[in-house]
Amino acid sequence: MNVSLIVRGHMAGLTICLASAAGRGDYKRVASMLGCDAGAWAGMTGRRTTGGETAASGAARRATEPDAASAVARAGARPTIIDVSARAGVSRMTVSRALRAPHLVRPDTREAIARAIDELGYVPDRAAEALSTRRSGFVGLVVPTLTNTNFADAARGLTDIIRRQGYELLIGYTDYDENAMLTHVRDMLGRRAEALVLPAGPRGAALRTLLAGETIPIVQMAGLAPSPVNYMVGYSNHEAGRLAARYLIGLGHTRIGVLAAEGDGLSCDHRGGRRLEGFLEALREAGLREDLVQRMGKPPVSFTQGAQAMGALLERAPDLHAVFAVSDLVGVGALMECRRRGVRVPEDVSLMGFGGFEIGREVVPALTTVAVDYRAIGERTGRMVLDLLAGVRDVPPVVDLGVTLTERETTAFRPALVPVPA
């Protein structure tokens, strides 16, 4: 193998030193610079080592050594891909191919390489790979919070799909802070993310400018905007709010309250805000009052905030018929507050949430909700990202997976208010 191929991407000074050492026949010096032993370097170049051992005899000797991993550890150096190739008895290129595209390598060869990797404790140098290929191998995901298990489900679905093509996920969270979003995006782009997946919502001028100059795939997830700027996968928060309102109205409720987060500008829960807008719009269309909105603090929302907001709303309007919480976390907190106050759910007040969280299924009574399949959103986003990276034409810019009304035990009819047909 030509030395210049081995050191491609290194500094010119290192190349000169390697060429000089190779010219003197000082293969131990060359091997030291490349992070391998002299026999391994000789095996790649067809040379003899200074000890007179041929490449073939050196490879045979190393293959019979009982403790190659211990030898590497004793040398104080991390195993390299050259060590793996020597241990497995294959070329460096074959090891690289087995790591990057295992389906292109024969099963017995893959097994030999995997065994060598395990024995040596080899860890691929992704930084060096990124320098040589100009590919990082990761997709960046930014989520608003880590306390919301739905975003964890989306991340899992996304990871399951992109890993099939050798990509990994790098995750950042913002706590609904636009400045944190900008910082994460800059960092991920600086690390050469091959695609970005961002939460849906409006963007500040600096972030819009930054994203406008990018050519990598950018997908917004978990919400749909009226005028999409990038690709989008998710559902309409506005329609989810309207669905919740129509459902409660259909049960005969007329005094309906809402529990929502505080916040304004760019650093707030835009998705929850859109649900609130849709909910109030449906109340107006039905001729019902829309002033029973209780805000509870800045996002991310919590059980405690839901309990506090429900207490405040019951103080304001003790004759409430029903309450919609913009998140199941808030809804569960509200349910606990009703229990503390002796307010029966659903006999006195109907209560419903949003999101389809696991805890909503397990509380007693189980929480009625507008459910979203975040795992499916993550998987569909992953397929879209892979299609865009592969250059697939005609990728749909917007994929609406919709929401599902899941009726459980916290909502009920108000019979006296439901008109009886003649």
Please name which of 392, 372, 6 lies closest in space to residue 165, comparing C-alpha atoms: 392
End-to-end, the C-alpha distance of the chain in Å comes to 93
Identity of residue 397: P
Per-residue pLDDT of 161-201, as tens digits, reads: 999 998 999 999 999 898 999 999 999 999 899 999 999 88
Q: Do 388 and 395 contact (CB within 8 A), yes or no? A: yes
**CA 306/CA 351 separation, integer angstroms:** 12
Contact 200, 422 (CB under 8 A): no
Tokens of 306: 């839901």
Peptide bond into 124 cis (omega under 30): no
Cβ count within 10 A of residue 325: 32
- CA dihedral for 94, 100, 106, 111, sign (positive or negative): positive
Cα–Cα dist 307/122, whole Å: 52
If we measure between CA atoms, which residue out of 345, 296, 289, 341 comes closest to residue 322?
Answer: 345
Kindly report which listed range (53-62, 291-300, 322-331) carries the lowest average pLDDT score. Answer: 53-62
**Token reading at 261:** 């987060």
Structure-block tokens of residue 393: 């034409």
346 residue type, one letter:
P
pLDDT class of 271 with cuts at 50, 70, 90: confident
State both tokens at 39.
Answer: 């026999």
Residue 404, pLDDT > 80, answer yes
Q: Please tell me the distance from the alpha carbon of residue 83 to that of residue 77, in angstroms, as a whole number.
A: 11
321 φ, ψ (degrees, to nearest 5): -95, -40
Lowest mean pLDDT among 16-20, 182-186, 223-227: 16-20
Q: Coil, strand, or helix at residue 222? A: coil
Whole-number pLDDT of residue 415: 73
* The pLDDT value given to residue 72: 52
SS (H, E, C) 180-204: HHHHHHHHHHHCCCCEEEEECCCCC
If one compares 321 and 48, the residue with the highest pLDDT of the two is: 321
Which residue type does 336 have? M
Quick one: DSSP state of residue 10?
Answer: S
pLDDT tens by residue, 86-129: 999 999 999 989 987 888 999 999 999 999 999 999 988 766 66
Round the average pLDDT of the chain to a whole number and report it.
83
Measured CA to CA, the distance from residue 255 to residue 373 in angstroms comes to: 30
Region label for 77, one of left (φ > 0), alpha (ψ between -120 and 50) or beta (otherwise): beta
Decide: 46 and 55 in contact? Cβ < 8 Å. yes
pLDDT of residue 264: 63
Q: How far is CA 125 from the centre of its chain?
A: 23
Give the separation between CA 205 and CA 192, rounded to whole angstroms: 22
> What pLDDT does residue 57 have?
46
Confidence of residue 78 (pLDDT cuts 50, 70, 90): confident
CB under 8 Å, gap of 24 or more: what pairs does 97-103 form?
Answer: 99/124, 100/166, 101/166
Select the more confidently predicted residue: 51 or 89.
89
**What pLDDT is attached to residue 18?**
43
Q: How many CB atoms lie within 10 A of CB 366?
A: 16
* Helix extents (H) in 163-257: 178-190, 205-212, 237-250
Short-list 267, 151, 153, CA closest to 198 = 151
Bridge partners (DSSP) of residue 238 are none
Q: Taking a C-beta distance cutoff of 8 angstroms, is the pair 325, 353 a contact?
A: yes
15 pLDDT exceeds 50?
no
Look at residue 296 and give its three-state secondary structure.
coil
- Order of all β-strands in the sheet with 368-371: 293-295, 256-260, 322-325, 350-355, 368-371, 404-406
User: Measuring CA to CA, how many Å separate 329 from each of 27, 144, 270, 352?
Assistant: 65, 15, 17, 11
Task: Find which of 73-82, 99-108, 126-135, 382-391 is predicted with most confidence, using mean pLDDT.
Answer: 382-391
Place of tokens 């997976």: 401
Q: Is residue 385 over pLDDT 60?
A: yes
